[in-house]
Chains A and B, each alone.
Chain A
Amino acid sequence: MSDVLTLSADVLVIGGGLAGAWAAVGAAREGARVVLAEKGFLGTSGVTATAGPGHWWVPPDPPELRDRAIAERMARGGFLGEAEWMARILDLTWRTLPTLAPFYDFATDHTGATHFRSLRGPEYMRALRQLVTSLGVCILDHSPALELLLADDGAVCGARGVAKQSRQDWQVTAPGVVLATGGCAFASHLLGSANNTGDGLLMAAEAGADFSGMEFTNAYCVAAAGTNMTRAMAYSFARYFDADGRALDIPPGPDSNRHLAAALARGPVLCSLERIPEDIRAHIPTIQPNFTVAFERAGIDPYTTRFPITLRGEGTVRGIGGVRVHGPACQTAVLGLYVAGDVATRELVTGAISGGGAQNSAWALSSGLLAGQGAAFQARAQGKSVSRGLHPAGQAALRPSGAVRPVDLAGARALVAAEMEDTGKNMFRHGKVLERSLATLDSAWREVAAHSAANGAGRVRAREVAAMLAAARWSKAASLARRETRGMHWREDAASADAGLQTRLTSGGLADAWTRFETPERAAAA
């Protein structure tokens, strides 16, 4: 063990994107000794760093404003959300963002009002790194976690991983562990999502956690073809044309991607941004520098030239599903394990439609603070009583159930990416197609789980493939079980909502993917 970097802490945060950084803040402000292990670099990793979240932002006065926002969200979200959770994140976000002022240069407009709601990604993450550092958190960059550690009683008590740049394994023991590994983008070209491979979902399942909302995994975003520049703002003005220059009828709003997907299935789709007013064009370079630079380097003036577009799958990132939340501190089903951000289900605050940047970033901030605080309380409650035992929980690609033999991991990665990106399978859903997808993914999962045993740095990629396969199986199983259309979940063979299924869908399992409606009597009566 001498070559293993071994640390102990009160709280271990796994993941250093938006939610992980806020989780470290939440724990450190409670006086906990915090270690944060990030797969890439806290500051550039995670989907916030390349984007710019405009948090869900509703003033507290008069109170009717929030009541109305929550009621509207409950209805639009197919009544799968919870008003109490929505009120909590509105309150926490409103009170917390202004505290970033020492590290983020919030703009003041010509009326003298300061704008706290919307932060640009690189500067937001830079500010959070500075805040986290100022609180004495020990940051391990380039240090992906590979597996959780369990005590004899089954509680999560730490994790193991590898420091990629020093090629050294690490082990952190802590009575409170926060998973903040982000959503799973299923290896699509969603901007900034390369590290979002569902690692935390797999680790959570191995520790015994369950999931919720995994059928809501079919958000997509427009990008110029050949690029990953999935910045939505400019496209809110877009008009679309087919290859012959005929205007396509793409209604604006959340359903536009469904119409675009149908059009893309017929042939190339071209985008025009000429409707963007001149005064806005002038500001776009300093609102979204990356959007501007990508077009300049492609030699395209997007305001005068029509350009081909593509849709990039957003998996559970702008989808909704994730680890099921079991309490107000973002506890999971497993003692000692907490979840924050997109690794957790966001149904509580979004319902069955995407929270986009607004609810999702308010959730990342709030669930981060709550989970970090919860993990710190857990550490304090446990005090000096050392939990017994230290059992590594990793299975697939680390401890295969069968004979070790070469496994085509690249093939499995391509397979899961195709199953989850193909709009014919994942956006327009059909029971028969879902059954075939699930069987295909089951078979790929069994091969990896039984026979793959990676070593050294190769463990990171192998675990990513296993995690994406596991998450894709829960997604297909849940999509199959929800035999109705609700929110973003669109069943071609059950095109309307079923009042009996107005309940969240739990899922889980590694050997076999299972599903169960949260209120089964309601589902059974349907």
Chain B
Amino acid sequence: MIEVVIADLCTGCGACVEACPSDVFALETAGGRAAIARQADCQTCFLCELHCPADALYVAPNCDTVLGVTAAEAQASGQLGRFRRLSGWGDNPENYPNEHWRMSSVFERAFSMATAKS
């Protein structure tokens, strides 16, 4: 679930408020930064991170419990912006080409390994 908005990084652009399919975020009236307004509604899809240009969001893979990750822990994890970078939406996209087209051949490899064994 969404664990934390790193306030020091958030620019208040509102991209997460717009992009979250579950309407989890809201901009604070004071300061204008993004806040987790409806944490229980989070569906752990990571897509807010993809749409956050400031890499100010951290989603943990646990989908039914809140771990209580702090901003400092999220920053120390080295994971901020990782999903966006791997997706080629961040810096140096040329280093992270979208290789989804390989999916069918991966399935074929698994299938041929399984049939070779049996």
A interface with B by C-beta (< 8 Å): 39-41, 43-46, 49-50, 52, 54, 105-107, 109, 115, 117-120, 122-123, 141-142, 164-165, 189, 191-195, 224, 226-229, 233, 236-237, 252, 275, 277, 280, 283, 285-290, 292-298
Contacts and interface: CB of A to CB of B under 8 A. Distances in A.
B30 interface: no
A41 B20 contact: yes
Given A227-B44, A286-B99, A296-B79, A40 B20 contact: yes
B107 to A, nearest CB: 6
B23 A40 contact: yes
Nearest to A40: B21
5 shortest interchain CB distances as A-B pairs: A40-B21, A194-B43, A236-B110, A120-B100, A115-B101
B50 interface: yes
A118 B21 contact: no
Interface string B24-40: 00000000000000000
A235 to B, nearest CB: 9
Interface string B54-68: 000000111111000
Given A118-B100, A286-B96, A296-B79, A233 B45 contact: no
B24 to A, nearest CB: 10
A297 B19 CA distance: 22
Given A285-B86, A287-B99, A275 B20 contact: no
B18 interface: yes
Instruction: Tell me which of B61, B65, B86, B87 has the highest count of chain A C-beta atoms within 10 A of its own C-beta.
Output: B61
A290 B44 CA distance: 10
Chain A contact surface mostly: loop
6 contacts: A41-B21, A194-B43, A233-B107, A286-B98, A289-B86, A298-B61
Nearest to A232: B107
A8 B47 CA distance: 32
B41 interface: yes
Interface string B7-24: 000000000011111110
Contacts of A275: 113
A228 B44 contact: yes
A275 B96 CA distance: 25
B86 A227 contact: no
